[in-house]
Structure 1
Amino acid sequence: MTAEPRDLDTRSPRNARFRAVSGRPLNRRVVLKAAAGVAAIAAAGGIGATVVPAIAQERTRVTRSETFVPSDAEVQGIGEWHVFGADYPFYALGASWDGDVGEWPVIEVQLSTDGESWTETFRMAADNDGGQPTVGDRTFTPLLHSSGGQFVRYHTVDFDGDPGVVDGLEFVYIDATDGPWENDLVAATTRSVGASSQELVPVGDNRIPPEIITRAQWGANEDFRFASYGEIWPPTYETVSHIIIHHTATPNSQDIPTAIRSIYFYHAIIQEWGDIGYNYLVGRDGRIYEGRYGGQNVIGGHSFQFAVGSSGIGTVGNFQRDAVPDAAIAGLVAITAWVGRDLDPYATQDFLQAPDLPVITSHRDVNATTCPGDFLYNDLPEIRDLVAPALDELETPFTGGIAPGDRVRVQTGDGGGLNVRSAPGTGSAIVGSIADGSYAMVMDGPLESDTGNWYMLDQPETGTSGWVTAQFLIVAPIPPPPSGEFPFGLNIIVAQTVNLRSAPTTSASVTTTLATGTLAFVLDGPRSANGFSWYQIQTAQGVDGWPPDCFWRPLHSMRIPMPPSRWETSSKLASSPTSGRAQGSRTPSSRVCRPVGGWRSRRRPSASMVSSSTACTARTTMAGGLLRTQCAGLAQHLAAGSMSATGYA
């Protein structure tokens, strides 16, 4: 017998999670503050849950960096110490060398502010932070952070301390101080309770959740995510089954936003990943910082293949020899509980090559590293103990992590449908129901009532539209289209002027018009309406909307002559550089746009507009797993054969 449709789960609550496995006394102050943090994140709909352009900053923040390349004599000077001076004080130092050298080198480094007094010796060894493939197949070290050093003394050895020659050795020093500092964040509007400001109270008040610091608030320059062809590392998604805890190995006294901007610049620009690798970061003061762009379940770059299906949380600081402050533990517990709210904090399960891996685990459990430091690693059993009662405190229908534009699946658990109401709240009229296990699109929300968060859903196949409780909704991203269609993240170029609409239909409002040659990437689709196949796209400037697919072309379909390079031995590329799989045999000339009602232009598009070889200079590099093609004449070539700009679709 099928259960009746309902709004709220009235079944008995689940058994308490807390089992006290660490042997440490339960810190109720941390539990209460972490539980408040989870509730606040849920009420806000998640951290970065809506994939939108970053908040406009008052001005563009400038992160300075310079590269120092040792002379041949210095490289060959085995066993000698060498000194170089920076052009300005720097706060982070990285090293790299040719990939074919291997991973044996250790760069021993000392820093100085005056060239006379030197710090202790630091050892910089190969480790690309477990993220994306690096530019030029170079081998990188993690950043060494400083407090304004201006001189570097170094020599090159192996792990046993024996001197050696390191071909292609380079240093990069970074000054990311131009941006918000910790003290600047005190007056900033946080998103820990949604979209409005909150009155600041003492950090020790357990009722107040840890602050959520957005990318815009910590000073992320969103230009770092884009190259001339579009977004370098478009978000892709995988349901999280594990939380992997890291430390950033930055000085515990360093300004936290400056440290995060340095890491972001090193990952996104120097190594050319296009973004920071951590999903979230936590400061020693307990603040939670938004990391990788894309929101819930976005795949980061923090532990090689184990980043797929996990969330990487970077605890800002170095906890190899220092204890983790209670405030940082509270923030770490809050974000871990939020990310793993549907997981058992004490469970273990197989994860890729790691059998019986704890759901809440650490970097050293999946990769050969000392991260997250001995003190934080030893805190993991207590962190599991704290996450469990924080979730027990929460037991709430305030489901979060859902945003307009998401596809969701209804899951009531007993086969009953979900009531659809005319307005948020159980007091509103029932206008229909959505079957258990079926899918719908989120059109609006969340709106909060005393029974939880409510979202407006639309189910086109049944004509059902209205408000439902969030309690029985699970985000269910649209699966990738079959080979030959256009997957999420595919870089594209507008082949003829096209209207960008707010929804996939000709009746939706026009948000902007994209000119021929505009670069963008695919966010969602396809959707069929009005005789068109529609995709949601986003431009390099952060503008998104829905155009029909016949007005743009995948970049990989443009037949542009490319000179040979060290990464390309054949002119035949079998797969898309963004999707990593074959794209089928469809050619640009096989896609003809025939809208309902005929052509709204003076002539039909010619196949030669988008498939002819272009006499332009192309430069090909490989970074972040993407083939980057820069062709100055491409937009002009397309524009020369484009249709008149009268507005399309």
Structure 2
Amino acid sequence: MCDSRPTRQSSCQPSPRFTRRMLAKAGAGFAAALAFQGKPQPFTTTIAQGETTRAGEWAPPESVGGETGELQFRADFPFRAIAPHWSAGTGVNAAVEISLSTDGQSFSAPRIVGPGNVDAGPTDRDGRTFGQLMMTDWAEFVRYRCLDANGNEINLPGLAFSYIDATNGPTLSDIEAPSYGGTLSRPPVITRAQWGAPLAYGGGDDGQWQWTPEYRQVEHIIIHHSETQNFRDPMVEIRSIHYYHAVVREWGDIGYNYLVDFLGNVFEGRTGGDNVVGGHAFQYAYGSSGICSMGSFSLETSTPEALGSLVWITAWTGRYLDPLGRNDFHETPNLPTICGHRDVNDSSCPGDSLWADLNYIRGGVAAVIAGAYDIIPDVSYGPGDVIQVSTANANFRSRPGTDGAIQATLALGTILTIVEGPTTNDGYTWYRAAGLQTAGWLSTSVVTPSSAPPPARDFEDGDQVEIAINLLNIRSEPGLYGAIVARMANGDTANVVGDPVVSGGTTWVRIDSALGTGWAASQYLAPSGRAAISASFAIGDQVQVDTSALRLRTDASTGAGVVATLSQGARGIVTDGPRRSTGNTWLQLQTDAGSGWVAQQYLAEPRDIATPTPDGRFSVGEDVVVDTDALNLRASPGRNGRVVTVLWTGTSASILDGPVFADRSVWYEVSASGLTGWVVDEFLALQGGGTTSVSGFEPGTAIEVTTDEVNLRRSAALSGQVVAVLYSGETGSVTGDSVQQDGYTWVEARFGGNTGWIATSFIGRTSGAPGYNGSVRVGSEVRVTSDGLNIRSTPSLSGRVLWQASDGDVLSVTDGAVQADG
């Protein structure tokens, strides 16, 4: 390892975790503010607001899944924050155990989320009990169970989950760095407009209208922590906290007066200015300023940068107070002027570690107010500065700390550019930097300043590139103001389209990937896996499945939805690819179960394949409708035919000619949208509510639900009465023909004891029969054919998960079979 830990100097006195430099930074800002008492002039920004913060809410359907046990749902979109809440007057001592996943297969370790008393704000919406906000990496699937104070499973009436994606909006790099100068009347603070408060209200900052400001003279400073995970994107976190307070809990605004991140940035909180009453300690918010350090500091320590900025903003906010004094305050006698949330409310906030630092903070504030610290130069590097690696085998890490995963090992002399920082952790000062092929965090002990030009990342039309950062925003326009249209993970591949464009000092490249087309910052792209992706099969090749159960997915990603599960020996034709994504090489196949993407390592060359014969589903003159999101209309039958246009879901067309077999698919010539061309038959359905058998979903076909909360309806329409709510993995069988209605193709199907109509968009074919066939008996040994199979305490989806079996595990049957939950 090469993080080059610096030598520690011995001292006979206890040493605070923030340094003299940090106190000097606080003193500098404070001294400048006191010296120039002019009109407030916050530092400038050139950002534009994005769209809005996205949020959704999910509640369990009535009479589905039982009252207790481990349950699961899928959000409407990927999110970065989530919190449970439940009905008033119940479960005040309850908690919810939550595990999260991007793909519904691999889940995070469970976390216990209790009531969010740490916030201690105004009355909550409908008097409900709201859980603590949980920040996370990207997630879409949620597994949960409800617990009482003793860890026993319980039912929580009115349980619901609110989830938030606050990634749209400004980033730290959008904000110009402040300087200490004669125009400041207070220490520089990132304003509400700069961090994106208006995004919670749909465009305008309505904080003062949604929650009318009240004012009290500040007598005490109350320190908090947000009790969210450490080292998260601070702009996303503050927008998530704000949305949770202002909109979800219906306070109207964020509860804290100021917030501080791990980099030492200070953010404006509650609107209204000095002496405005926040919502952070119930009645103790009247006459106090609530300052929140973003993160959890019960077990981990805060960074010196954060502690220094806590001193800095506390000194300014309490500049007329005695930082070492005590006074009676509300019901609490002899309360320290600077105190923790736990000192006034029944709470563990601000965590044991941060609470233990309060004496250092009080002393630091006193020293800053007294002017005991000289102004000394701040850190050496800023965003855009060029550095070079000064030692061999320097570690490039995923987060600022020695426990961060090593993303790359850098050679001596490697040229990099600073992206953000600094922050201090594990005895090192860390910066995030980008090179030619990757980006990550590294300590200042392994780099030096460089006069070399920044790394040149020049891409041309047609170049294949890969993402060289953990998660990269793909935008609609070349610039930081473009809406985020997709997010790509490290190692994902794309093709460059057209020439680069310079906007805002950044070179932007237009790329086309499995997730669509958009603009990416060139410094986060690298030349892809040595030119071309190696693939064992080409478009048009016939292949067969070479594993017991292979998921056919909607896109080239392990996080994409499952179209169907293919059994050993199932055959298909390669229609697109290869693509590199989520650590696999993917090929698109056309199979009897539908079209989708599979990882190529599970495919083999087939034997004795006969050429299919067109089935003639439609006749010339019939009116049809497009039954997929985007269907290519081609100039000739075959996948090499020029694309005339793209037809979208619900587009009407008329059959002109066909069927014709080409490239292992059946093609029809159609007239649509004033144009003529050829399309694949499986993506068409009869128009006007007529019935037909959909290719792949003929009567008798075994099917499987591919997403959660799918309605089985009494009639083939969105207005049809709901017969049952189905969840991912439930199996059934097609019992009748299909109907086109409301932009969907519907098939009549039976699931358990219920028969009704279901949209084909939410089902796939399954190789197994829908129900027990009697072939497995007590004493038999069986082999698991899929990863993550839940072994439950009872034969029900509500049964507690005892453990998870993996693909290839051999089990012995001891009882059954039992019919339950369909």
> 2 CA distance for matches of 1:275 and 1:382?
31
CA deviations on 1:81-118 (whole Å, 9 max, x unpaired) are: 00111122211001111112141221111111222222
* 1:571-621 CA-partner distances (Å, limit 9, x unpaired): xxxxxxxxxxxxxxxxxxxxxxxxxxxxxxxxxxxxxxxxxxxxxxxxxxx
Q: Distance in 1 between matches of 2:52 and 2:215?
A: 30
Deviations 1:13-62 (A, max 9, x none): xxxxxxxxx95469432221111122344467699899xxx999634541
Write out aligned runs for 1:141-220 (5 A). 141-185=131-175, 188=176, 190=178, 193=181, 211-220=188-197
Larger relative CO (CA 8 A, sep 6+): 1 or 2? Answer: 1
Name the structure 2 match of 1:322.
Answer: 300
Q: Which protein shows a greater Rg? A: 2
Aligned to 1:273: 251
Rounded to whole Å, the distance in 1 between the matches of 2:243 and 2:325 is 36
Are 2:7 and 1:29 aligned? no
The worse-fitting range, judged by mean Cα deviation, of 23-32 and 169-178 is: 23-32
CA distance change for structure 1 residues 385 and 279 in 2, over 3 Å: closer, same or farther?
A: same
Residues 153-212 of structure 1, C-alpha deviations (whole Å, 9 max, x = no match): 101111101121111111010000001223333xx2548657689xxxxxxxxxxx9752
Answer whether contact 1:143 1:263 (CA < 8 A) is retained: yes
Return the letter of the residue paired with 1:214. T
Considering only aligned residues, what root-mean-square deviation do their CA atoms show, in Å? 3.2
Q: CA 1:223–1:192 in 2, change beyond 3 Å: closer, same or farther?
A: farther
Distance in 2, matches of 1:61 and 1:159, equals: 41
More strand by share: 2
Q: Tell me, what secondary structure is at the counterpart of 2:328?
A: strand
Structure 2 counterparts to residues 3-402 of structure 1, below 5 A:
24=15, 27-42=19-34, 58-59=48-49, 61-74=51-64, 76-78=66-68, 80-128=69-117, 129-185=119-175, 188=176, 190=178, 193=181, 211-221=188-198, 224=201, 231-393=209-371
In structure 1, distance between residues paired with 2:284 and 2:109 = 34
Q: Which amino acid aligns with 1:143?
A: L
CA distance in 2, matches of 1:255, 1:46: 33
In 2: Cα distance, 1:190 partner to 1:81 partner: 49
Does the 8 A contact of 1:211 with 1:286 survive in 2? no
Asked if structure 2 preserves the Cα contact closer than 8 Å seen for 1:157 and 1:164, the reply is: yes
The separation in 2 between residues aligned to 1:331 and 1:389, in whole angstroms, is: 14
Cα shift readout 1:327-372 (whole Å, capped 9, x = no counterpart): 1111000001111111111111111111111111011111122211
Q: Which residue of 1 aligns with 2:427?
A: none
8 Å CA contact 1:108, 1:123 repeated in 2 = yes
Q: Write the distance in 2 (CA, Å) between the matches of 1:229 and 1:338.
A: 23
Q: Give distance in 2, aligned partners of 1:269 and 1:40.
A: 37
Distance change (3 Å), C-alpha of 1:360 and 1:180:
same
Pair 48,263 (structure 1): closer, same or farther in 2 beyond 3 Å: farther
**Is 2:85–2:160's contact at 8 Å kept on the other side of the alignment?**
yes
Distance in 2 (CA, whole Å) between partners of 1:352 and 1:371 is 19
Which runs of no fewer than 5 residues in structure 2 stay unpaired? 1-12, 375-822
Letter matched to residue 95 of structure 1: P
Change (3 A) 1:371 1:194: farther
State the secondary structure of the residue aligned to 1:221. Answer: helix
Tell me how far apart the structure 1 counterparts of residues 38 and 316 of structure 2 sit (CA, whole Å).
8
Measured against aligned partners, the alpha-carbon deviations of 1:219-243 in whole angstroms (never above 9, x if no partner) come to 1117739899981211111011110
**1:90 partner amino acid:** F
Fraction of identical pairs, as percent = 42
Q: Distance in 2 between matches of 1:295 and 1:395?
A: 28
Write 1 or 2 for the structure with the bigger share of helix: 1
Look up the equivalent residue of 1:144 and give its one-letter code: M
* TM-aligned CA distance change 1:325 to 1:165, over 3 Å: same
2:256 partner amino acid: Y
Is the CA contact (8 Å cut-off) linking 1:245 and 1:372 kept in structure 2?
yes
Could you tell me which amino acid in structure 1 is paired with residue 344 of structure 2? V
Secondary structure of 2:300's match?
Answer: coil
Residues 200 and 247, structure 2, Cα contact 8 Å, conserved in 1: no
Q: 1:191 & 1:295 partners in 2: Cα distance? A: 21
Unmatched 5+ residue regions in structure 1?
A: 1-21, 198-208, 397-649
| Mapped contact 2:261–2:306 kept (Cα < 8 A) | yes
Residue identity opposite 2:190 in structure 1: I
- Aligned-pair CA distance for 1:76: 4.2
Report if the CA contact (8 A) 2:90-2:157 is conserved: yes
TM-score computed with the length of structure 2 as normaliser? 0.41
2: distance between equivalents of 1:269 and 1:83?
25
Letter in 2 for 1:148: W
| Cα drift, residue 373 of structure 1 | 1.4
Amino acid in structure 2 at the alignment position of 1:141: G
**Distance in structure 2 (CA, Å) of the matches to 1:46 and 1:358:** 31
Q: 1:130 to 1:49 in 2, by over 3 A?
A: farther
Q: Which residue of 2 aligns with 1:458?
A: none
Three-state SS of the structure 2 residue aligned to 1:334 is helix
Separation in structure 2 between the aligned mates of residue 276 and residue 41 of structure 1, nearest angstrom: 26
- In 2, the alpha carbon distance for the partners of 1:218 and 1:227 equals 11
Structure 1 stretch displaced more, 218-227 or 326-335: 218-227
- In the superposition, relative to structure 1, how do residues 131 and 194 fare at CA in structure 2: closer, same or farther (>3 Å)? farther
Distance 1:152 1:139, change over 3 A: same
Structure 2 vs 1, CA of residues 274 and 192 (structure 1 numbering), >3 Å: closer, same or farther? Answer: farther
Q: How many residues in Structure 1 have an aligned counterpart in Structure 2?
A: 358
CA pair 44-371 structure 1, distance change in 2 beyond 3 A: farther
CA separation of 1:47 and 1:120: change in aligned 2, threshold 3 A: farther
Letter in structure 2 aligned against 1:164: I
Contact 1:105 1:125 in 2 (8 A): yes
Q: Which residue of 2 aligns with 1:533?
A: none
How far apart are the structure 2 equivalents of 1:44 and 1:263? Answer: 33
Per-residue deviation at 1:307?
0.6
Q: What is the CA–CA distance in structure 1 between the aligned matches of 2:199 and 2:40, rounded to whole Å?
A: 14
- Classify 1:75/1:323 alpha carbon distance in 2 versus 1 (closer, same or farther; 3 Å): same
Look up the SS of the partner of 1:237 in the other structure. Answer: coil
Q: 1:47 to 1:77 in 2, by over 3 A?
A: farther
